[in-house]
Amino acid sequence: MPSFTYPELPLDGLLRRAAIRHPGKAALVTESDTVDHAELDDRADRIARYLEHTVGRREAAIGVANVLDPAFPAAFYGTVRGGSVAVLVNPLIREAVLHHVFAAAGIEVAFVPTATAELLVKLRESLPQLRTIVVTDAEDGVVPADAVPLQAALDAVPEGMGGHRRGAAAPGAVACVQFTTGTTGRPKGVRLTHRNLVANAAQTVHAHALGPQSVTFNHLPLYHVMHLNSALYAGATQILCRDPDPVASLALAARTGATHYYGLPARLHRLASDPRLESRPEGVPAGPRLTAVLSGGNALADATARRLRDLLGVPVIQGYGLAELSPLSHSQRPGDGSRRGCVGPAVPGTECRIMDLGTGERVGVYATGEVQVRGPQLMAGYLDKNEPSRTDADGWFATGDVGYLDEDGALFLVDRLGDVFKYDNELVSPTAVERILAEDPRVADCVVSGWPDPVHGAVVWAGIVLHQDAAQRWCSVLDILDSITEKANAQLATFEQIRRVETLDAVPRTPVGKPRRLELRQQLRARAAAESAA
Q: How confident is the model at residue 163 (pLDDT cuts 50, 70, 90)?
A: very low
CA nearest neighbour of 373 among 340, 415, 414, 401:
401
Q: Each residue of 474-515: pLDDT tens digit? A: 668 888 999 999 999 999 988 899 999 999 999 998 776 788
| Cα-based distances in Å from 252 to 30, 243, 307, 314 | 10, 10, 20, 17
Taking the CB of residue 439, how many other CB atoms lie within 10 A of it?
Answer: 16
DSSP one-letter string for 283-319: S-TT-TT--EEEE-SSPPPHHHHHHHHHHHSS-EEEE
From 82-86, 366-370, 469-473, the region with the lowest mean pLDDT: 469-473
3-state secondary structure of 232: helix
- Furthest C-alpha separation in the chain: 75
**Average pLDDT, integer, range 364-368:** 95
Q: Residue 456 has what pLDDT?
A: 85
pLDDT of residue 421: 87
From the CA atom positions of the chain, what is the Rg in Å? Answer: 24
For residue 36, give the H/E element and its range: strand 34-36
Q: How many CB atoms lie within 10 A of CB 520?
A: 20
- Cα distances from 213 to residues 209, 283, 473, in angstroms, run 11, 22, 49
Which tens digit of pLDDT belongs to each residue from 57-77? Answer: 889 999 999 999 999 999 999
What is the fold, at CATH topology level, of the domain defined by 421-533?
GMP Synthetase; Chain A, domain 3 (3.30.300)
Mean pLDDT for the stretch of residues 161-181: 80
For the segment 269-317, what is each residue's pLDDT rounded down to a tens digit? 889 888 888 766 555 688 899 999 999 877 787 888 888 998 899 999 9
**What is d(CA 188, CA 445) in angstroms, rounded to the nearest whole number?**
28
User: Taking 90 as the threshold, does the pLDDT of residue 455 lie above it?
Assistant: no
What is the average pLDDT score of the chain? 91
Phi, psi (rounded to 5 degrees) for 471: -60, -35
pLDDT(427) > 90: no
pLDDT at 532 > cutoff 90: no
CA distances from 355 to 36, 352, 366, 369 (A): 47, 10, 12, 5
Q: How confident is the model at residue 245 (pLDDT cuts 50, 70, 90)?
A: very high
Per-residue burial over 8-20, b = 16 or more CB atoms within 10 Å of its CB, e = otherwise: ebbbbbbbbbbbe
DSSP of 401-453: EEEEE-TT--EEEEEETTT-EEETTEEE-HHHHHHHHHTSTTEEEEEEEEEEE
Q: Is residue 39 pLDDT above 60, yes or no? A: yes
Superfamily of domain 340-417: Luciferase; Domain 3 (2.30.38.10)
The phi and psi torsions of 335 (rounded to 5 degrees) equal: -90, 5
Angstrom distance (rounded) from CA 437 to CA 432 = 9
Q: Under CATH, to which class is 36-195 assigned?
A: alpha beta
Beta carbons of 464 and 446 less than 8 angstroms apart: yes
Work out the average pLDDT over 265-271. 86
User: What does each C-alpha distance from 391 to 1, 39, 338, 374 come to in angstroms?
Assistant: 16, 40, 32, 9
Print burial letters for 455-483: b (CB count within 10 Å at least 16), e (below 16). ebebbbbbbbebbeebeeeeeeeeebbee
Least confident of 139-148, 203-212, 355-364: 139-148
Mean pLDDT along residues 250-274:
91
User: How much of the chain, in percent, has pLDDT values that exceed 70?
Assistant: 94
Q: What pairs with residue 316 in β-bridges?
A: 293
- Residue 175 CA to residue 87 CA, distance in Å, equals 9
CA dihedral (392, 397, 402, 403) in degrees, to 10, reads -110
pTM, whole model, 2 decimals? 0.84
Residue spans of the domains in the chain: they are: 36-195, 340-417, 421-533
pLDDT at 102 over 60: yes
> CB-based contacts of 201: which residues, under 8 Å, 6+ apart?
6, 14, 226, 229, 230, 232, 233
* Res 257: pLDDT: 96
Task: Using pLDDT thresholds of 50, 70 and 90, give the confidence band for residue 184.
Answer: low
Q: Which residue has the higher pLDDT, 376 or 280?
A: 376
